[in-house]
Every structure is written in C-alpha cells, then in structure tokens.
Amino acid sequence: MDHLQQSFRIRDIEIAPATVLAPMAGVTDTIFRRMIRGLGGCGLIMTEFTSAEGVTRNAARTLSYLYFHPQEHPITAQLFGANARVMADAAKLVEDLGFDIVDINLGCPAKKVVKCGGSGLLRDLRALEELLSLVRRAVRIPLTIKTRAGWDDKSIVAVEVARLAEGVGVEAIAVHPRTREQRYNGFADWNLIRAVKSAVSVPVIGNGDIRTPEDAVRMRRETGCDAVMIGRGASTNPWIFGQMEQFAATGRYEEPSDADRYNLLSKYFRHLNEAEWPDAIGKMKQFACWFTHGVRNGAELRRQVTTAQSPGEILKRVDAFFAPELAAGGTS
C-alpha cells in the first residue's frame, strides 16, 4: 500500500494524511467539515468557495461561509473572483480570520462563478498572473490554487497555469483534469495531473473520479501526485477518508454498518437543527438523497425525508426508519 502517502507539506504546514476535502458549494460548511474531521483520515479541509466581492463588502451571508471552529485546523479558505485588488483584500481578511491557507478557485464551472472568476480566469493567463501576484503580495500565509484542465478541449492550459502559478509564489496546485465545458461529465484525464506534477516542484494534489480507496491508490501510482482531493465521493460516502487510511495500513477497509449510517445521519441533522441553520430542511433533504444509497431500502428513507415538512419531522422519521434495524442489532 505504498502508493498512499502518509503526509505532505504546504510550506511549513504538515498535512497528514495526504488527503484533502474539496470545496463544494452548499456542502462543505462548518458542520459537514467537522463531521468529516470527526470520522478521521482527512488531512486538510476547505471551505465552500466564497465570493471575494461578498467578503470585502462585508456581506453577512458570504462571511458565514468563512466561519470555522478551532478543531477544523488545518483549514483552507477558498475564494473566487476576477478583480485582482478585491481578491487581494479578501485574502488578507481570510488571513486575519486565522485560516492556515488561502486558495484561489480556477475551477468552478458554474455560470454565475465563471462570470466573475472560477474557470473563467483560464481564458486570460496574463490577467490571471497579475491577480495571483497581487494576492501573493497581500498575505503571509501559504497561497494555493485549484484549477481545471482548461476552458475547453482546444485550450488545455493546466501545465501552463501551474508553471505561471509556481513562478509567482503559489505553494500547491490542485488539478481537476476536466475542462470547464465538460463540467462533471465524461472522465477526468489523470494524465494531465501527471503532466502538471512533472512541470512544477510544488506539491500537486490530484482530484477527479476518486470513488473508492482503490481509486486513490491508483491515482497516486499513475500520476505521482503528492496528495488526493475528494469532493463528490465524500458527500455520498463521508467515511471514504477513514477507509483510505485503513486500506493504506492493512490492504482492506470496512463498509459502514446501518448503525454507523444512522448515527452519522442523525447527528448531522441534529447539529443542523440545533444551529438553526438557514434552510436546514433543504440541506437535510439534499444530504439524505446522497447519503442513503448504501442503506437497505434507502429509497423509502429518501421518500420519508423529502416529504417531511420540518427539520423536527425529518429527525423523527430518520429515527423511526432505523429503529427496527437497530433493535435487531442489524449491521448490513
């Protein structure tokens, strides 16, 4: 199992294990991140990607994305935006809030993000260089980027972007090797991660199509990347980081039991409810849709959750659904 690295460093920050939770809009809030931390095996967590414009305007909703708890260290704040000055000011604020690392999003394919940053920045590398330089000068903490392959298959620029970024002082580069045009369709071309790794000397983090611990080992072996980053795979299976750690140590890993699933689901939902989270009911329904695919009769649980009218009703229905299984001591 020598292909899963124990740790890697971003400047003087040791990240162990060499695994990263990808930033996901509407998913990687403080409650989800703490859940991942509590399950173990994840070296570095990241905020949802956050608008630099919103941060510098002091918009309350945007600033709420940057709330974190001391137990979340090491933690990266990810920013998006296209205005270099605004990005630099937002990065300084992130540093002042106590984040360990600031990351610039060059990967998000969503239309509203592309208009003002995200993968839209991949279309003008000169402007990108200026933006990264200004941010680099604005903060003392490590600066990283997360990039896609390019805008479309006629402009694969990840290697060029990585060299440019390293040149201005970016200290780690995460690569999701799909183009903006692909969004999340088709396959991630891991060869591009290998090409970026060969082109720069800073740590390279591989991202895309890791659904199992075996996938993570294969990515490390095929690309030589320093760490792996998991997004959607962690939203449907929050245990994946712990499973990777088990797999690295023993060559095998356990699947969560129904009791494990119940405990995690109910705890997550209770935390949302107690925090009086804005749109807690929407988050519960979204999470239940992803998270119940490994549960026996999960379709019925999804129906129960999605037809509920309040967070309290969802909690009762989740308890009732799992009660017979838990009483019988079932472990599926």
In contact, 36 and 243? CB cutoff 8 Å:
no
Residue 108 annotated to the active site: yes
Which position among 108, 116, 225, 289 bears the catalytic label?
108
As a whole number of angstroms, the distance between CA 1 and CA 183 comes to 32
* Angle CA 148–150–151, to nearest 5: 115
As a whole number of angstroms, the distance between CA 81 and CA 72 comes to 25
As a whole number of angstroms, the distance between CA 169 and CA 144 comes to 9
Contacts of 35 (CB under 8 A, 6+ apart): 238, 264, 267, 268, 271
Largest CA distance in the chain: 63
Contacts of 134 (CB under 8 A, 6+ apart): 84, 85, 87, 88
Q: Any idea which residues carry the catalytic annotation?
A: 108
